[in-house]
């Protein structure tokens, strides 16, 4: 059915495009980001596990620590090929070779503006250096990527000459970087078409997002024959970043039907891992991986979604495909069908009149800008229906938390769980983490924390805070609840206990 309504570019029933990830190189050049050694290894493992073909692990000549990191990543024995970046000098190439990389990526500025202002070499000198260094790389190693830095602002005839020189010297792939993110998709298509026609070498493309066109330009290059794309997780990178991995992959797979070899069902998990390590939050509206991508709030959309999920989603991209989840959210646009569905899921069955009351109440709370959690909904239903629904699995009795500059944050709890008294203690990164870990430790079922959100309601260090927590039970069902007060740890504990107590009722 979908085949009829979606426009596929037929010329792209064309085999495979490989993914080259530069999160650890260009991504790490994002202002304000510095991954730790351990985080870099973890990211490399993840990228390899999801099927990235090549990982640019770093720039070994830039520092001793960088060189050690690239070596360590290579030693992980990942399935992905490991690449190191080098300027066009033997010393830089040697630094890569010392790390035992699978491929050396050499680059040199070719646009007049960068050539004159950064390396101060003539066009002829750039050709001679490229020839010499690419040959040097190939004398030592099987794979060499050649980048003409600022290719999109380079005189076209000269650019062809540069790429021909690199290909003749033995470059195994040529990279066309839109270094400052200034090309348009149609111009990119023309440029790649010409290079593909005149230079006999596979083409890779590296696009920047200064005008928000990184992904579009990458796709345009693929349309014109590029066989590899450079991306970063969450689009990290210098300035406005690079082409986003999840978006680029899903466009190729779902719209163009190109096989990328990526395990798409792990895209959301990968995005969250890098978000956590980089400290850069994913906006809710971020394509593919954002929280809102498969969330539906308005009455008309939710009603459609309940009947057929393809009504208000792309269909060719589902939450299951990318490791996401679909959810109906409660807000001021919510409709009767969505509320009825959410209550049915929790085995709550109001009459039509009671449902009207519940919907009105939800809308009233939401219009004040407050998030309506599952716990709020059940409470509203209880009062509208005049019944007591709750059977609390978990009742907290005591909690004690220790934290300081020379101790590992530790928490111990005493609680009643389904009538039995239980005690547990746990450590954490901080007092909140320790407290939540201790509570999760007293309950028998496997419950995971999926979301933790804290808001300071008023300014100052005595601010009231409001914590919202979502938990996932062993069946993959998600419940959210909140807690508030003037103690950040106790508010978090309250939110978690409330969320856990929702699980039994569903
Ligand atoms: Mn770049």
For residue 433, what is the domain's CATH number?
Answer: 3.30.160.270
End residue of a domain, out of 385, 406, 425: 385
Which of the four pLDDT bands, split at 50, 70 and 90, describes residue 478?
confident
Whether residues 117 and 241 share a domain: the answer is yes
Whether residues 58 and 122 share a domain: the answer is yes
| CATH number of the domain encompassing residue 161 | 3.20.20.70
pLDDT at 156: 98
pLDDT at 400: 95
Q: How far is the CA of 397 from the centre of ligand 1 (A)?
A: 55
Q: How far is the CA of 94 from the centre of ligand 1 (A)?
A: 22
The mean pLDDT of 280-307, rounded to a whole number, is 86
The mean pLDDT of 266-276, rounded to a whole number, is 95
Whether residues 271 and 305 share a domain: the answer is no
pLDDT at 474: 84
Whether residues 108 and 223 share a domain: the answer is yes
The mean pLDDT of 402-419, rounded to a whole number, is 93
> Would 322 be classed as within a structural domain?
no
Q: Residue written as tokens 């360590």?
A: 72
Q: How far is the CA of 382 from the centre of ligand 1 (A)?
A: 56
Mean pLDDT of the chain: 91
Least confident range of 1-10, 69-78, 123-132, 409-418: 1-10
> Would 45 be classed as within a structural domain?
yes
Which of the four pLDDT bands, split at 50, 70 and 90, describes residue 335?
confident
Cβ distance 345 to 377 under 8 Å?
Answer: no
CA–CA gap between residue 233 and residue 249 (Å, rounded): 11
Q: How far is the CA of 51 from the centre of ligand 1 (A)?
A: 22
Whether residues 203 and 263 share a domain: the answer is yes
pLDDT at 462: 73
Whether residues 75 and 201 share a domain: the answer is yes
Whether residues 421 and 463 share a domain: the answer is yes
Whether residues 381 and 265 share a domain: the answer is no
Whether residues 110 and 205 share a domain: the answer is yes
pLDDT value at 370 more than 90: no
Task: Name the residue with higher pLDDT: 7 or 62.
Answer: 62
Task: Name the residue with higher pLDDT: 311 or 70.
Answer: 70
> Would 232 be classed as within a structural domain?
yes
Least confident range of 213-217, 258-262, 329-333: 329-333
Least confident range of 81-95, 219-233, 291-305, 475-489: 291-305
Q: How far is the CA of 179 from the centre of ligand 1 (A)?
A: 5
The structure's pTM equals 0.82
Q: How far is the CA of 58 from the centre of ligand 1 (A)?
A: 12
pLDDT at 296: 85
Across the strands, what pairs with 87? 107
Least confident range of 62-66, 107-111, 354-358, 443-447: 443-447
Task: Name the residue with higher pLDDT: 77 or 10.
Answer: 77
Whether residues 227 and 360 share a domain: the answer is no
> Would 4 be classed as within a structural domain?
no
Q: How far is the CA of 67 from the centre of ligand 1 (A)?
A: 19
Phi-psi region of 414 (alpha: psi -120 to 50; beta: other; left: phi over 0): beta
Q: How far is the CA of 41 from the centre of ligand 1 (A)?
A: 21
> Would 287 be classed as within a structural domain?
no
213 Cβ contact list (under 8 Å, min separation 6): 181, 183, 184, 185, 207
CA–CA gap between residue 327 and residue 294 (Å, rounded): 6
CA–CA gap between residue 50 and residue 45 (Å, rounded): 9
> Would 190 be classed as within a structural domain?
yes
> Would 404 be classed as within a structural domain?
yes
The mean pLDDT of 392-416, rounded to a whole number, is 93
Whether residues 202 and 349 share a domain: the answer is no
Q: Residue 347 belongs to what domain range?
A: 298-313+329-385
Q: How far is the CA of 115 from the centre of ligand 1 (A)?
A: 16
The mean pLDDT of 429-456, rounded to a whole number, is 90
Q: Could you give the percent of the chain with pLDDT greater than 90?
A: 71
The mean pLDDT of 248-253, rounded to a whole number, is 97
Q: How far is the CA of 231 from the centre of ligand 1 (A)?
A: 10
Least confident range of 62-76, 255-269, 434-448: 434-448
> Would 44 be classed as within a structural domain?
yes
Least confident range of 112-116, 330-334, 338-342: 330-334
DSSP string computed for 395-454 = EEEEEEEE--SSS--EEEEEEEETTEEEEEEEE-SSHHHHHHHHHHHHSSS--EEEEEEE
Which of the four pLDDT bands, split at 50, 70 and 90, describes residue 9?
very low
Domain count, the chain: 3
End residue of a domain, out of 342, 363, 385: 385
Handedness of CA 29, 35, 39, 40 (dihedral sign): positive
SS3 category, 76: coil
pLDDT at 392: 80
CA–CA gap between residue 503 and residue 506 (Å, rounded): 6
Whether residues 84 and 218 share a domain: the answer is yes
């Amino acid at each position: 059915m979908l085949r009829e309504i979606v426009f596929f570019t037929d010329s792209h029933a064309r085999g495979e495009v490989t993914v080259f990830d530069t999160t650890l190189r260009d991504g790490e050049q994002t202002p304000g980001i510095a991954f730790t050694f351990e985080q870099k290894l973890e990211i490399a493992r993840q990228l390899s596990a999801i099927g990235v073909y090549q990982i640019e692990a770093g720039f070994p000549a830039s520092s001793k620590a960088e060189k050690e990191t690239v070596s360590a990543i290579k030693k992980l024995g990942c399935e992905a090929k490991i690449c190191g970046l080098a300027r066009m000098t033997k010393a830089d190439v040697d630094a890569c070779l010392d790390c035992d990389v699978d491929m050396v990526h050499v680059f040199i500025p070719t646009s007049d503006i960068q050539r004159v202002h950064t390396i101060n070499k003539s066009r002829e000198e750039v050709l001679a250096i490229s020839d010499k260094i690419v040959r040097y790389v190939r004398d030592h190693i099987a794979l060499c990527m050649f980048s003409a830095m600022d290719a999109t602002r380079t005189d076209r005839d000269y650019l062809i000459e540069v790429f021909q020189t690199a290909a003749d010297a033995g470059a195994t792939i040529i990279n066309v970087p839109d270094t400052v993110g200034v090309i348009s998709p149609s111009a990119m298509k023309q440029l790649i078409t010409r290079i593909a026609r005149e230079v006999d070498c596979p083409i890779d493309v590296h696009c920047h997002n200064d005008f928000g066109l990184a992904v579009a330009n990458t796709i345009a290059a693929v349309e014109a024959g590029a066989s590899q794309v450079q991306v970063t997780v969450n689009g990290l990178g210098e300035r406005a970043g690079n082409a986003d991995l999840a978006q680029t992959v899903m466009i190729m797979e779902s719209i163009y039907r190109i096989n990328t070899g990526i395990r798409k069902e792990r895209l959301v998990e990968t995005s969250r891992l890098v978000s956590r390590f980089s400290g850069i939050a994913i906006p809710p509206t971020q394509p593919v991986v954002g929280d809102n991508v498969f969330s539906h709030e308005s009455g008309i959309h939710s009603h459609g979604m309940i009947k057929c999920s393809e009504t208000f989603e792309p269909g060719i991209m589902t939450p299951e495909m990318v490791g996401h989840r679909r959810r109906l959210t409660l807000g001021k646009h919510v409709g009767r069908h969505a509320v009825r569905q959410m209550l049915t899921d929790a085995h709550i069955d109001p009459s039509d009149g009671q449902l009207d009351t519940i919907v009105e109440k939800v809308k009233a709370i939401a219009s004040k800008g407050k998030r309506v959690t599952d716990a709020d909904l059940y409470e509203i239903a209880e009062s509208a229906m005049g019944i007591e629904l709750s059977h609390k699995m978990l009742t907290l009795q005591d909690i004690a938390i220790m934290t300081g500059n020379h101790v590992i944050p530790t928490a111990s709890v005493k609680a009643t769980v389904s009538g039995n008294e239980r005690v547990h203690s746990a450590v954490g990164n901080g007092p909140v983490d320790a407290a939540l870990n201790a509570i999760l430790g007293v309950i028998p079922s496997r419950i995971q924390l999926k979301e933790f959100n804290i808001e300071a309601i008023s300014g100052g260090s005595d601010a009231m805070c409001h914590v919202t927590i979502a938990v996932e039970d062993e069946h993959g069902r998600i419940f959210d609840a909140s807690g508030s007060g003037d103690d950040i740890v106790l508010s978090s504990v309250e939110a978690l206990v409330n969320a856990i107590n929702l699980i039994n009722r569903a």
